Structure 1
Amino acid sequence: MNTTYHAVQVPSIWATGQLQARSQRGTRYTRLSLEHPARMLPAIARTAVEYFTRPGEVVLDPMCGIGTTLAEAVHLDRDAVGIELESKWASIARLNLDAAAAQGASGAGEVHTGEASLTAAGLAHAAEHRKASLLLTSPPYGAMTHGQVRTARDGATAVDKHAHRYGRTRLRANLAHQPLAELLASFTAILAACRGLLEPGAHVVITTRPFRTKGVLVDFPGRVMDAAAEAGLEPVGRCAALMCALREEGVVRRTSFFQSIETARQRRLGLPAHVVQHEDALILQNPGSHQGEEGASC
C-alpha cells in the first residue's frame, strides 16, 4: 500500500535491509561509531529523509547518538540538527559530520550536547534557528539484544560482550537507564519540547520495535505512538522498515548474535518468541499543514 507525502508515494514496507549494516556504513562513518549499542540502520534514516523532506530542508534528531540521521541527511543535501545527552556520542556524531563534509556532502550539520527537552526548548527560543521539516529518531529499547561479541574465533577465551552500554555513567536523564513508564514520560517531554523546532505540518518518524521483558511481550511501538500523541503530535501512519534482505529465492535474515541467543532462550522457556526482522516506523505530524501537502496513514 502506498501513501502520498510531499507528493511522493511512500510504501508501507521499506526494503532497507538489502545490505548488511556494516556494508551500509562502509567508510562513511568513523570506526568509533561501532561502540554505540544501538545505531540506526543508515538505509532507514536515508529512506525517511528522502520520503519526508526535500533538498535544503532541515532534519532534527533529538537523541542523535553517533549521528546516523544527521550524516545521511547532509549526504542528501539536507541540513541537520542533532541533540545528544552523552558527550562521547555527541563527539562521534560531530566526527561523522566532519567525515560527510570531507566526502562532499552538500548539507550542513550541527550537534548540541545536553538533555534533549531542555536543549530543544533553548534552541526553539533562538530566533535564528531554522525549523525542521522532519524529526527522525529512535528511543532506546530491548537492551538485552544490544552490543557486539568476541568469541573464540576472534581470539577470546570466552564469549565477551562489549559495546552494549549507552554511556559510562548512568545519567538519570538517559532514557536507556529509566523504567519503561518513566522512559515514555521522558520521551513525551522531549517530543513536546521539540515541537517548537518543527514546521507546521512537519513529519515525525520514530523507529522502534516490540521486545520481551520477564517473558512478557511489550508493544513498545504502540506505547511510543501513544506517548507521541500525548506530546501533541498527530498519528498518521505505521510502516515496516525491513532489517532482512529480500531476494528472489526468499528472505535473508539479518540477526545479531544476541538476538539469536535471546530468542533461543525464550523458546526454551516455552515462549512463542521470534527474531524481529523489521523496525516499526511510526509516522506522525506536527499539527498544522503546508499548503498543498497531504498526509495519510500507510
Structure 2
Amino acid sequence: MAEVTTSVWATGQRPSRVQRKGRYVPESMRHPGKMLPAIAAQAIEIYTEPGELVVDPMCGIGTTLVEATHLGRHAAGVEYEEKWARLAVANLGHARQQGATGFGRVMAGDSRHIARLLPDLVGRAALVLTSPPYGAATHGHIRSTRDTGEPGVRKWNQRYSADRDNLAHQQLPHLLEGFGRILAGCVELLRPGGVVAITVRPYRVRGELVDLPGHVHRLAEEAGLVFADRIVCLLCGLGDGHLLNRASFFQLHEARKAWARGLPIHAVAHEDLLVLRRPQTPPAPEPHAALTTVRELQ
C-alpha cells in the first residue's frame, strides 16, 4: 500500500471575499457554505491535467466548476437547490467572459442518484471535489453590536434551504447515509485511479465536537475508495512569524464562552482535505434506486 502523507497548504493568505471579488458574480455571497476558491484551485492543479474532467456532486454556486474551467479543465456539477444551481451557471458564464478555457455544465437534481443523472460521464472523471453540508444553517453574515451600536446580533444569508428533504436539514445519521450514497455514485463516475477530494472540518452541536472528517473517511472507504492523503488547508493567513486570524464572529464567541466555563476550546483555523483514490479494478456497483426528476440548466 502506498504511504499516506499529511501536507499543509497556505490557502488562507487572502480572505474568502477577496478571493471571490471579481471572479464570481456578486450574488454568490448569499450562499452560506461556499468552498474556499484557493482550496479548489490547488486541488485541481495537483490532481488533474488540462482537458480532464472535474465533478462536484454538491456544487452550490459552482466554486469547483469555476476554478476548474479557469485552469483549462472541464467540469460538471449537480446541485439540489435550483437557486444555487442557477448561480453556478451564472458563475460559469462569468468565468467564460473572463477567458476561462474549460467548459462546465450544471444540473439541478439529487446527487444521491448522481450516476443516473450524469450517465455520459460514468468512468470519465479524473477528480471529484466536494464538501458535505454542516447543517441547515451556518454563521452566514452578521453584524454585531460593535458594528451597529445596537443591542444583539443580526444574521442574514445563513440558510442553505427551506426544503426539508435537503441533506443540510438531516440529523447526522441521515446526513451520513445520504453522503455515503453520493460517494458511492461518484465512484462510478471516476476513471480507474481517479481521485476523490473532500473538504470537511469538525463542528460543534450544543458545545459537543462532531468528528465529521472521521465519519466521512469511513464512508469513503465503505464506498470502495482507498485513502491516500490528508491535507491541512489553512483558513488563517501566515504572517511574519504569526498567524492571521480569520475565524468568524461566532467561532470566537463560542470559544470565549467555553473558556469562561473552564473549557479551553479553540476556533478552527483549517479545513481537512481528505484525498482518496478509486482502485484500478473497483468492485461492481450496487443497483440504483429510482431516479428523481432533474432539470439541466443552460
Residues 1:262 and 2:254 aligned together: yes
Question: Does the alignment pair 1:70 with 2:65?
Answer: yes
Evaluate the alpha carbon distance shift between residue 276 and residue 144 of structure 1 in structure 2; reply closer, same or farther with a 3 A threshold.
farther
From 217, 221, 230, the equivalent of 2:213 is 221
Distance 1:156 1:138, change over 3 A: farther
Is 1:159 aligned to 2:172, yes or no?
no
Cα distance between partner residues in 1 of 2:182 and 2:123: 18
1:194-253 alpha-carbon deviations (Å, 9 max, x no partner): 222111111110001112223222211011100111111111111100011112231111
Summarize the Cα distance change of 1:33–1:273 in structure 2 as closer, same or farther, 3 Å threshold.
same
Which of 231, 240, 244 does residue 252 from structure 1 map onto? 244
Does residue 134 (structure 1) correspond to residue 127 (structure 2)? The answer is: yes
1:61 deviates by 0.3
Separation in 2 of the partners of 1:88 and 1:184?
24
Q: What is residue 80 of structure 2 aligned with on the other side?
A: 85
Separation in 2, partners of 1:181, 1:70: 29
Tell me the distance in 2 between the aligned counterparts of 1:203 and 1:130: 12
- Superposition pairs for residues 1-298 of structure 1, below 5 Å? 12-124=7-119, 126=120, 131-141=124-134, 145-151=138-144, 157=150, 158-167=152-161, 169-172=162-165, 174-288=166-280
Residues 170 and 229 of structure 1: is their aligned pair in 2 closer, same or farther, counting only changes over 3 Å?
same
- Cα deviation code 1:156-188 (max 9, x no counterpart): 844210111001x2331x221111111111111
Give the letter for the 1:281 counterpart: L
Offset of residue 109 of structure 1 = 0.4
Structure 1 segments (4+ residues) deviating >4 Å: 142-145, 152-158
Distance 1:268 1:87 in 2: 43
2: CA distance between counterparts of 1:85 and 1:156?
A: 38
Task: Sort the Cα spacing of 1:142 and 1:238 in 2 relative to 1 into closer, same or farther, 3 A.
Answer: farther
Following the alignment from structure 1 to structure 2, what is the Cα–Cα distance between the partners of residues 179 and 129?
Answer: 30
CA separation in 2, counterparts of 1:95 and 1:55? 23
C-alpha separation in 2, matches of 1:277 and 1:131: 34
In 2, are the aligned partners of 1:210 and 1:221 still within 8 Å (CA)? yes
Contact 1:71 1:96 in 2 (8 A): yes
User: Secondary structure at the residue paired with 1:112?
Assistant: strand
What amino acid is the match of 2:16? A
The letter of the residue matching 1:232 is G
Distance in 2 between residues matched to 1:281 and 1:220, nearest whole Å: 12
Letter in 2 for 1:80: A
- The structural deviation recorded for 1:144 is 6.4
Question: How many percent of aligned residue pairs carry the same amino acid?
Answer: 50
Alpha-carbon distance in 2 for matches of 1:18, 1:50: 18
Please list every run of 5 or more consecutive structure 1 residues that lacks an aligned counterpart in the other structure: 5-9, 290-298
Structure 1 residues 99 and 11: alpha-carbon distance in aligned structure 2, compared to 1, 3 A threshold: farther
Q: Give the counterpart letter for 1:15 in structure 2.
A: A
Counterpart Cα distance in 2 of 1:135 and 1:69: 9
